[in-house]
Amino acid sequence: MFNKKTALAASMALACAMSGAAASALDLSGETVEFVIPFSETGGSAKWANFYAPLLSEALPGKPTVVVKYMPGAGSTKGANWFQDQSYEDTEGKVIFGSSGSTQFPYLLEDPRVKYEYADWNVVLASGTGGVAFLPPDLAGKMDGLDATGLQGTDFIWGSQGATRLDLVPLLAWQMLGMSVEPVFGIKGRGDGRLMFERGEANIDYQTSAAYLDNVVPLVEAGQAVPMMTWGALDENGNIVRDPTFPDIPSFKEVCEATPACETSGDAWEAWKAFFIAGFPAQKMIFLPKGAPQDAIDTYTKAFNDVIARPDFKELSEATLGDYPQMTGAPAKVMLDLGTKVPASAKAFVKTWLHDAYGVSLN
């Protein structure tokens, strides 16, 4: 599935070269750009958006004020449906939208609430990310090294945005490990799930990398949480390896290999891997609305390239977002393709699993 890697690497040079291109006629002097994300202000998407907003403000022509606007609801489909109704003609480059895996998954699974079409939007940045699952110290002690068999007799409670969102990646992973995890559906953002964990209302959680670095590492340092595993990352050949942001934490693949109940082959594994790729290496993307002219796309692409080329960007992004690729131009389009397409077999498996495990019926 990841054979596009060669094309991705080859095209990055062209995308980066655009950072030296002349600015377009788009001038946003004195304007306010709304950076809309379809989540609450407590999760990883909020951290990501608030990281980029001031840097983008400096890089866009006219240095407009970039304001993050939160539009949570219906597992992010509310905000995405709203963005689908926007047009460049009406917004004139002053509205951008931040999508996440939790927005991509309902689209992939043909959720009837989805009224948006990614093919109508214009991607200008794609950010990979990771995720870390964690436990209270007493439960983490039930694992035997990487073997999660000792967790199989525990009743877990977890705050979830919904089984058809990005949360299906951990839900399926935990089930593959033989764990009994009861999701409490309906939270508006992953940060709300973390707060449930902190209050003792949940005894397992995961956060995407930005939120984990900012909000969970202090819990780990205080002895209130212990990392269980990451979802991993992809190497250049499409193999799942340890997440480079968390090299000391094992990947789900490693934990699965060490747990007799779990297998890294077969239908469940192939479905998990397909949705992991769609949800994490290709997780977060920024779009201009439908009808955006090429000069506006080029303007935003150049602005993001200028941000990425800053001498302090690596230090800033590692501390805030982790060590993941930030892509524009052709590489971003490759990520869009990976994030919005999965094999039919994986889609069919997940739909059946959602129905059998959670009573979720999708068209």
Average pLDDT over residues 206-224: 95
Is 80 exceeded by the pLDDT of residue 313?
yes
Exposed (0-12), middle (13-18) or buried (19+): which is 262, by Cβ within 10 Å? buried
According to DSSP, the β-strands at 205-208 and 131-135 are: antiparallel
Range 237-242, long-range pairs (CB < 8 A, 24+ positions):
237/2, 237/5, 238/1, 238/2, 238/3, 238/5, 240/273, 240/276
Cα(250)–Cα(246) distance, integer angstroms: 8
Supply φ then ψ for residue 259, to 5 degrees.
Answer: -110, 115
Residue 240 has what pLDDT? 93
Cα(282)–Cα(338) distance, integer angstroms: 6
Residue 159 corresponds to which tokens in the numbers above? Answer: 């705050």
Query: Is residue 79 within 8 Å of residue 36, measured between CB atoms?
Result: yes
Residue 70: pLDDT band (50, 70, 90) is: very high
Average pLDDT over residues 210-232: 96
What percentage of the chain exceeds 70 in pLDDT?
93
Listed in sequence order, the DSSP H helices in the chain are 5-17, 44-59, 77-84, 88-91, 101-108, 137-140, 168-176, 190-198, 209-211, 217-221, 252-258, 267-279, 294-308, 313-320, 329-339, 344-358
Is 70 exceeded by the pLDDT of residue 39?
yes
Is 50 exceeded by the pLDDT of residue 9?
no
Is 60 exceeded by the pLDDT of residue 21?
no
What are the structural domains, with CATH classification, of the chain?
A: 5-129+280-344 (3.40.190.150), 131-278 (3.40.190.10)
Average pLDDT over residues 175-198: 94
Residue 282 has what pLDDT? 84
Residue 363 has what pLDDT? 64
Residue 8: pLDDT band (50, 70, 90) is: very low
Cα(313)–Cα(307) distance, integer angstroms: 7
Residue 11 has what pLDDT? 46
- The pTM for the full model equals 0.81
Supply φ then ψ for residue 160, to 5 degrees.
Answer: -130, 145
Residue 179: pLDDT band (50, 70, 90) is: very high
Does residue 181 or residue 20 have the better pLDDT? Answer: 181
Does residue 13 or residue 92 have the better pLDDT? Answer: 92
Query: Is residue 350 within 8 Å of residue 149, measured between CB atoms?
Result: no
Residue 234 has what pLDDT? 87
Of the listed ranges 90-99, 104-113, 221-230, 287-296, the one predicted with least confidence: 104-113
Is 80 exceeded by the pLDDT of residue 229?
yes
Average pLDDT over residues 292-305: 97
Residue 228 Cα distances to 145, 174, 197, angstroms: 10, 11, 14
Supply φ then ψ for residue 230, to 5 degrees.
Answer: -100, 170
According to DSSP, the β-strands at 95-99 and 32-37 are: parallel
Residue 275: pLDDT band (50, 70, 90) is: very high
Closest CA to 93 of 132, 50, 61, 131: 61
Is 50 exceeded by the pLDDT of residue 307?
yes
Residue 44 has what pLDDT? 84
Residue 12: pLDDT band (50, 70, 90) is: very low
